[in-house]
Structures are given as C-alpha cells and as structure tokens.
Amino acid sequence: MTLRDAAKKIFFLEILKGLALTFRTMINRPVTRRYPKVKREPFMGFRGRHAFVRDPGTGREKCVACLKCSIVCPSQCIRIEYKETEERRVLEKYEIEALRCVFCGYCAEVCPVCALVLTEVYEYADYTREQFLFDRERLLKNWDDFSSGLKTGAYFNKFWRLSGIDINRMPVGKRLQQSVQVKQKEFLSKESFDKGRAA
C-alpha cells in the first residue's frame, strides 16, 4: 500500500469529500418549493379533473351521445343513457366515476365534438365518495369553476387537436374546433363584494 492509500485510510479522505459536498449544499439555493404557499402552474395539457365544455351558443353541453368515450375508456368509468329522436340523439344521463378513472385522456381525445376536457385542476380533494360521481350538472359546474379561474379569455385544450397528428385523420368536429371563449370573473368593487358576502 502506498503512502497515499495509507493516508486515505487513516484520515477518512473519501468520507470527508462526501461531507464537503453535503455541507456545500447548505449554502446553495434550495431546489424545493414550499407547497402550498408556492405553487407551480401545471403545463398546458395536464390531465386533471373532467369538465363538460359549455357551448357558447346554447349554454349547455355539446355532447351528442355518440358513446365513443364510453367505449374507449380503459377503466369503463363513463355511463351514458340517451334517447333517440328522428334527427338526433338526446343525452339523458352522463356519469363519470372519477375514482375509477385513470386519467389517460382517451375520452377527451376521441370525442368528435370536443365536448369533454380534462382540465388542469388537480386540487379537488373531498370528504365523501359521492362527491366524485360527476354527473352532467357537476361536469358543467367543473367547467365554470375552471374557466372562471383562467387568466386568458380563450381556452384551447391540447387534446382537442394534438400537434403532429395529420388533420385529415380527425373527425370534422375536431378539425373545425376553435378556442372556446370563456367568461371571466368580473372585477367586484368592495361594496358589492361585502353585500354579496352578507347575503
């Protein structure tokens, strides 16, 4: 054994090198983020809570009960009931069991009229299981909650028209889909806010 190796063995040189690295980290800026005080915005296209897009014309959902989302869902968590009239199908019941869902995004991707989105909302924990059975009204309410929190007035979800996919492969509804205009929360003056709170 050389003198160098003997010195390394006696004076714990490699352990000191490791300790030096650890102590140097104390001086550096921390890489952690203090959630929930500091939050990061999820990237566009993050697969979060489901919502039904409100059609700006009718004010209701755009779903045409084609059942494609229900067929393609890997966890079979979408249940649909509809009624057939001469011209079209009328949606009666639409339920998503969010606790069964694996958030793969296939339902939003396959919908030919871009009626369903997976919004970027990920903080929606609740106390009971019943709150997670999203029916039509709840899905529309999810959309209202999400769109009122948006910073811009127009929203276009990534999964409506995925980049790189040939546009001729997509159904007509997806080819023509434009950004959805959302109504943002109007700026409330202090008096109207207090009045609203008192009511």
Partner 1 sequence: MEQMDIEKDLQTKGLILNMGPQHPATHGVLRLMLHLDGETVVKCTPYVGYLHRGTEKLCENRTYISALPLMDRLDYISSMANDVGYCVAVERLFGIEPPDRAKYIRTMMCEMTRISSHILWLATHALDMGAMSVFLHSFREREWLLDLFEMITGARLTVSYPRIGGVRCDVNREFLESLYKFTEEFPKRIEEYETLIDQNRIWLQRTKGIGVISARDAINCGLTGPTLRGSGVSYDVRKHEPYDAYDQVDFEVPVGKNGDVYDRYRCRMEELRQSNRIIRQCIKKMPDGPILADNSPELDMPAEGHRKLIPEMSLSHACISLSDECESIAPAGEFYSAVEVPKGELGFYILSDGSGKPYRMRLRSPSFVHASALPRLCRGHMVADVIALIGTIDIVLGECDR
Closest distance of CB 79 from partner 1, Å: 16
Per CB under 8 A, 105 contacts partner 1: yes
Rule CB under 8 A: is residue 4 a binding residue for partner 1?
Answer: no
Length of the chain measured in residues: 199
109 contacts partner 1 (rule: CB under 8 A):
yes
**Rounded distance, CA 102 to CA 99, Å?**
8
What are the DSSP E strand ranges found in the chain?
50-52, 78-84, 89-97, 116-118, 133-134, 154-155, 180-181
| Rounded least distance, CB 131 to partner 1, Å | 23
- Reported as type and span, the H/E element at residue 175 is helix 172-175
Q: Distance between CA 87 and CA 64 in Å, rounded?
A: 11
Q: Among the candidate windows 90-98, 127-135, 156-164, 189-197, which touches partner 1 by CB under 8 A?
A: 156-164
| Least gap, CB of 15 to partner 1 (angstroms) | 6
Asked if 98 is part of the footprint of partner 1 (rule: CB under 8 A), the reply reads no
Contacts of 96 (CB under 8 A, 6+ apart): 50, 77, 78, 133, 134, 139
Chain contacts with partner 1 (rule: CB under 8 A): 9, 12, 14-15, 17-18, 21-22, 25, 31, 42-43, 45-47, 64, 66, 68, 71-75, 88-89, 102-106, 109-110, 112-113, 118, 158-159, 162-166, 168-173
